[in-house]
């Protein structure tokens, strides 16, 4: 019997596909790339049309031998690597390795790992696409050339060992530019003024609040308390009359099904998954999950790297049937909703959707990991919503003439406005389960809703509206219907009376993973398969740090790198140039541009710019003289900058190699006394600040060089030890909180992902609560099933106290807090963990230690 060998990338996918193909087929996995450019300068021959020298990746020799051996026993080989450029490159490399004149080799694509998807792929083989392969080769060569040459430039101008990439450098520039906007931002005062109104005569109706919109026919902008006070005095005794009442129906159209970038944005904002983690989970859902049905794994979603909103006719027919059955026929539009993909979309794959809408998330929850369930549910809800009718609101807008009665009013007349709406028909919101904002909803203007009528663009989200116009707005809707009123009707001031609310404009928000992906997509930088890699590399290089809540903040090192590259006038630092390069790579993939032509054009100009930049001055700040005396030789010390930050170095270097960590302007570490005793010598310990944050240091230094992480003031509920912050060994990893006894003889494996706060829970009496990040910082009880949570009000620090103040007692934290049930399964539940692969915070060097000893101290405190 003829044998067909099917080669895929993932072992998990191989298992799923084997189930569908049955006898006559053997399925093997390449486990990703098998060949790559070696890590040496001459891997690309620039003079010979940029010819590459590929080598088998170290450790993949055995995999290749298995593939070659299996190919010798087969009559046909189907290369079923992922349906994208990287997959095409892997297929080409495997084809080269198993080459045999008698062997028939074809390329197949599986856009969904289901019986139908696999059968369709197997029965529709094609030739290997040399254009797609050339596009991947061109990208790889570009990245290699830029990576090696620009990294060498950064070494020579800033510090040895640093690196820079083609697309990652542009992403870093976006983060740095945003940080500069934040730093340069000057808050401007403004006042929101509103008034509570009710009927002037019986019958009485429920009062409502109207916001002041204009004065003397012009938009009213109150920028100081003095004017606000005068306007308030005018309103308190003014006459109010209804000038205009407008009632209309308002529709909110459903968003398109997920593309890669939109999925990453919503996963960041609602599930708090980073882009890389989102793609890893989605990959598992695509490759197959064992649902204990049909004897093997089932692919739950279509291919997850896509920029298209296109959906197959079969999937649309299925989802329309499920919507009618599950929610009712009134939720099914007359004709299917159609969404336009972006102008520069490759449109190679469908949108991300469930392979079968019949598989509801709740029906398979027991077979999924928690993160898989959450992401699958997000995808399922979004796809089903995309083929439902619009949500319909009753919206009422009331304009009110205000006539001051005081002798000398600030203005002769005012106009107040109140807008309210109430949900009349849920439509697609029926399936969203409380989610309020949706990535890409503003692009639904391209949808053909309700049988082809162009859908109006939805209103901006609250966050977008605040960023666009940080001043007062008179158009904000309250989620309630206003009382019936007639034009000409008199109104009177009612509780809460006149409201004058002082505000200050806010700086633009720093990028988080979701908003950075959105910006990259908007500017045309990168493609669906590269977003996660771009963000991951920016973090790994220590050029940015993640603040609480996930916002990116560039380090001083990151700023120096960006500033130096921008001053060098390299095109690669121009977002528009990078976007243009993506379009040219797409042109290579489509066969409209030769790979060699693209590379030659780029390289010629790149080399000219690079040669000029090498002649520029160093990027690092000049050394500064200080009045600090060297402890070792008595000479003066200089303030210098290295890739790990500012430090002091003896002016007699290299004869004297004394250095000192620079923690404040004087170069001496700021210290704070504690009542903690050293567990080595018994002397008191003090808190010092090093390159890696605060740490406990023995006062017996240098005789006793013991250091420890700073306790967070919360006792471990498992063993009574101190809870400490533990930072990941790998850059870009996630910080967590564990017990200080994690490395003791009796190891304690208690672990939390959210920061513990030494405040008792007012609901269940637990000894501490945790602080969560996200759009709204919350205090949440760590006890399972307790459900207590409270939003941290603006201006509070990490411990729930105002910045600079001591942590409050329990009563202060929860005064006015109304316990509310958790809106999702608490991720703050303490869970046992293995030995943490991370380094406790505060493992910095003791004062006077050189850079290498400092690293050694940190390494000793890194868990194995």
* Cα atoms found within 13 Å of the Cα of residue 29, Cβ hemisphere only: 13
Tell me whether strands 838-840 and 552-554 are parallel, antiparallel or unpaired. unpaired
Burial 572-605 (b: 16+ CB within 10 A, else e): bbebeebbebbebbbbbbeeebebeebbeebbee
Residue 353, pLDDT score: 95
- Confidence tier at 156 by pLDDT (50, 70, 90): confident
Residue 444, pLDDT score: 64
The dihedral through the CA atoms of 9, 15, 21, 23 has a sign that is: positive
How far, in Å, CA of 156 to CA of 614, rounded? 8
Tell me whether strands 723-728 and 838-840 are parallel, antiparallel or unpaired. antiparallel
DSSP-derived 3-state class of residue 427 = helix
Question: What would you measure as the largest C-alpha separation in the chain, in angstroms?
Answer: 103
How far, in Å, CA of 303 to CA of 532, rounded? 16
Highest mean pLDDT among 220-234, 650-664, 719-733: 220-234
Name the nearest CA neighbour of 573 among 154, 285, 57.
154
Residue 816, pLDDT score: 34
Task: Say which DSSP state 760 is in.
Answer: -
How far, in Å, CA of 723 to CA of 741, rounded? 9
Residue 636, pLDDT score: 92
Judged by average pLDDT, the poorest of 92-96, 282-286, 686-690 is 686-690
Q: 831 phi and psi, to 5 degrees? A: -130, 140
Which position has the higher pLDDT, 173 or 739?
173
Highest mean pLDDT among 465-479, 630-644, 670-684: 630-644
User: For residue 780, what are the β-bridge partners?
Assistant: 770, 789
Active site residues per annotation:
303
Of all residues in the chain, the percent with pLDDT exceeding 90 is 49
How far, in Å, CA of 663 to CA of 661, rounded? 6
Residue 658, pLDDT score: 87
Q: Could you identify the residue written with the tokens 């910095």? A: 844
Helices (H), 363-511: 370-386, 462-468
How far, in Å, CA of 260 to CA of 301, rounded? 12
C-alpha angle with apex 56: 54 to 57, nearest 5 degrees? Answer: 110
Q: 617 phi and psi, to 5 degrees? A: -70, 160
Task: Say which DSSP state 267 is in.
Answer: I
Mean of all residue pLDDT scores within the chain? 82
584 Cβ neighbours under 8 A, 6+ residues apart: 593, 598
With a threshold of 0.75, does the pTM exceed it? Answer: no
Q: Is residue 839 predicted with pLDDT exceeding 70?
A: no
Q: What is the pLDDT of residues 525-541, one digit of tens each?
A: 988 888 898 888 888 77
Residue 775, pLDDT score: 59
Tell me whether strands 778-781 and 636-642 are parallel, antiparallel or unpaired. unpaired
Residue 645, pLDDT score: 76
Residue 714, pLDDT score: 84
Tell me whether strands 414-425 and 477-478 are parallel, antiparallel or unpaired. parallel
Task: Say which DSSP state 270 is in.
Answer: I
Residue 689, pLDDT score: 63
* Cα atoms found within 13 Å of the Cα of residue 79, Cβ hemisphere only: 26
Q: Is residue 804 predicted with pLDDT exceeding 80?
A: no
Give 122-169 as a DSSP string. HTS-B---HHHHHHHHHHHHHHHHHHHHHHHHHHHHT-TT----HHHH
Name the nearest CA neighbour of 700 among 846, 851, 856, 854.
846
437 touches 269 (CB < 8 A): yes
700 touches 686 (CB < 8 A): no
C-alpha angle with apex 409: 403 to 413, nearest 5 degrees? Answer: 30
How far, in Å, CA of 382 to CA of 23, rounded? 37
Element containing residue 77 per DSSP (H, E): strand 76-79
Q: What is the distance of C-alpha 467 from the center of its chain? A: 18
How far, in Å, CA of 153 to CA of 141, rounded? 18
662 touches 688 (CB < 8 A): no
Tally of CB atoms within 10 A around 361: 19
Q: Is residue 2 predicted with pLDDT exceeding 70?
A: no
**Angle separating helix axes 595-614 and 575-589, nearest 10 degrees:** 160
Q: 814 phi and psi, to 5 degrees? A: -105, 10
264 touches 279 (CB < 8 A): yes
Name the nearest CA neighbour of 754 among 729, 718, 789, 779.
779
Q: Is residue 209 predicted with pLDDT exceeding 90?
A: yes
Size of the chain in residues: 864
How far, in Å, CA of 377 to CA of 367, rounded? 13
Give 734-751 as a DSSP string. --EEEEGGGGSSS---EE
Q: Is residue 53 predicted with pLDDT exceeding 70?
A: yes
32 touches 67 (CB < 8 A): no
Provide the token pair at 65.
Answer: 């031998």
Three-class SS of 436-450 = CCCCCHHHHHHCEEC
Radius of gyration of the chain (CA): 31
Q: What is the distance of C-alpha 190 from the center of its chain? A: 31
Task: Say which DSSP state 830 is in.
Answer: -
How far, in Å, CA of 141 to CA of 585, rounded? 12
Q: What is the pLDDT of residues 734-770, one digit of tens each?
A: 778 888 887 766 778 888 888 888 777 877 778 888 8
Which position has the higher pLDDT, 733 or 798?
733
Burial of 22 (0-12, 13-18, 19+ CB in 10 A): exposed
User: For residue 184, what are the β-bridge partners?
Assistant: none
9 touches 286 (CB < 8 A): no
Provide the token pair at 438.
Answer: 């949706």
Kindly state the average pLDDT of the residues 131-157: 91
3-state helix, strand, coil in the chain (%, to 5): 30, 25, 45
How far, in Å, CA of 58 to CA of 61, rounded? 7
Name the nearest CA neighbour of 231 among 196, 267, 191.
191
How far, in Å, CA of 403 to CA of 412, rounded? 7
């Amino acid at each position: 019997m003829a044998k067909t060998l099917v080669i895929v990338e993932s072992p998990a996918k191989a298992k799923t596909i084997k189930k569908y193909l049955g006898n006559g087929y053997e399925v093997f996995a390449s486990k990703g790339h098998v060949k790559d450019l070696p890590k040496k300068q001459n891997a690309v021959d620039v003079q010979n049309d940029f010819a590459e020298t590929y080598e088998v990746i170290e450790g993949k020799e055995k995999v290749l031998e298995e593939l070659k051996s299996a190919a010798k026993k087969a009559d046909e080989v189907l290369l079923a690597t992922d349906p994208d450029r990287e997959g095409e490159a892997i297929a080409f490399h495997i084809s080269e390795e198993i080459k045999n004149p008698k062997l028939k080799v074809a390329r197949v694509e599986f856009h969904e790992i289901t019986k139908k998807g696999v059968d369709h792929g197997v029965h529709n083989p094609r030739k290997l696409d040399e254009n797609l392969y050339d596009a991947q080769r061109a990208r790889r060569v570009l990245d290699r050339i830029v990576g090696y040459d620009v990294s060498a430039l950064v070494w020579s101008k800033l510090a040895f060992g640093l690196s820079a990439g083609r697309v990652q450098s542009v992403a870093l520039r976006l983060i740095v530019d945003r940080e500069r906007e934040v730093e340069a931002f000057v808050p401007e005062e403004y006042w929101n003024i509103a008034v509570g109104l009710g009927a002037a005569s019986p019958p009485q109706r429920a009062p409502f609040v109207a916001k002041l919109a204009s004065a003397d026919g012009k938009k009213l902008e109150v920028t100081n308390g003095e004017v606000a006070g005068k306007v308030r005095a005018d309103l308190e005794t003014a006459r109010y009359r209804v000038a205009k009442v407008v009632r209309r129906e308002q529709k909110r159209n459903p968003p398109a099904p997920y593309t890669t970038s939109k999925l990453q944005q919503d996963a960041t904002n609602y599930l708090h998954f980073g882009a890389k983690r989102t793609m890893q989970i989605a990959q598992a859902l695509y490759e197959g999950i064992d649902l204990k049905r049909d004897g093997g794994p089932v692919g739950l979603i279509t291919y997850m790297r896509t920029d298209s909103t296109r959906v197959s006719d079969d999937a649309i027919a299925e989802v329309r049937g499920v919507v009618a059955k599950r929610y009712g026929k009134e939720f099914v539009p007359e004709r299917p909703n159609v969404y336009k993909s972006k102008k520069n979309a490759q449109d190679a794959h469908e949108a991300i959707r469930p392979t079968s809408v019949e598989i509801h998330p709740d029906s398979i929850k027991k077979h999924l990991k928690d993160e898989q369930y959450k992401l699958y549910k997000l995808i399922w809800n979004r796809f089903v919503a995309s083929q439902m009718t619009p949500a319909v609101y009753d919206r009422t807008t009331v304009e009110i003439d205000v006539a001051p009665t005081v002798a000398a009013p600030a203005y002769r007349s005012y106009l107040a406005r109140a807008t309210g709406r109430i949900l009349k028909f849920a439509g697609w919101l029926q399936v969203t389960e409380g989610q309020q904002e949706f990535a890409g909803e503003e692009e639904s203007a391209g949808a053909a809703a309700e049988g082809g009528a162009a859908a109006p663009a939805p209103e901006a989200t609250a966050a977008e509206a605040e960023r666009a116009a940080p001043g007062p707005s008179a158009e904000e809707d309250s989620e309630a219907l206003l009382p019936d009123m007639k034009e000409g009707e008199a109104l009177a001031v009612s509780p809460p009376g006149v409201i004058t609310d002082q505000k200050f404009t806010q700086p633009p928000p720093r990028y988080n993973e979701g908003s950075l992906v959105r910006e990259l997509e908007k500017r045309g930088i990168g493609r669906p398969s590269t977003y996660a890699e771009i963000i991951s590399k920016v973090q790994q290089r220590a050029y940015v740090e993640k603040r609480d809540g996930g916002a990116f903040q560039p380090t001083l090192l990151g700023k120096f790198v960006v500033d130096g590259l921008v001053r060098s006038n390299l095109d690669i630092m121009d977002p528009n140039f990078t976007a243009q390069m993506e379009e040219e790579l797409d042109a290579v993939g489509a066969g409209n541009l030769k790979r060699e032509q693209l590379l030659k054009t780029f390289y010629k100009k790149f080399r000219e710019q690079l040669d000029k930049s090498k002649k520029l001055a160093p990027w690092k700040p000049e050394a500064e003289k200080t009045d600090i005396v060297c402890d070792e030789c008595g000479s003066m010390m200089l303030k210098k900058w290295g890739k790990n930050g500012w430090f002091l170095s003896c002016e007699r270097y290299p004869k004297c190699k004394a250095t000192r960590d620079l923690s404040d302007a004087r170069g001496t570490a700021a210290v704070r006394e504690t009542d903690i005793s050293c567990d080595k010598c018994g002397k008191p310990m003090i808190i010092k600040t090093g390159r890696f944050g605060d740490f406990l240091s023995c006062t017996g230094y240098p005789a006793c060089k013991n250091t420890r992480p700073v306790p967070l003031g919360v006792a471990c509920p498992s063993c009574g030890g101190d809870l400490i912050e533990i930072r990941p060994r790998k850059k870009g990893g996630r910080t967590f909180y564990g017990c200080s006894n994690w490395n003791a003889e009796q190891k304690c494996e208690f672990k939390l992902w959210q920061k513990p706060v030494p405040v008792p829970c007012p609901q269940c009496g637990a000894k501490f609560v945790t602080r969560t990040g996200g759009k709204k910082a919350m205090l949440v009880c760590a006890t399972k099933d307790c459900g207590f949570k409270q939003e941290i009000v603006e201006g509070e620090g990490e411990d729930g106290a105002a910045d600079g103040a001591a942590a409050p007692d329990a009563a202060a934290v929860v005064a006015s807090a109304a316990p509310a049930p958790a809106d999702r399964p608490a991720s703050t539940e303490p869970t046992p963990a293995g030995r943490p692969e991370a380094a406790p915070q505060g493992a910095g060097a003791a004062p006077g230690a050189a850079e290498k000893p400092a690293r050694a101290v940190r390494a000793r405190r890194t868990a194995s």
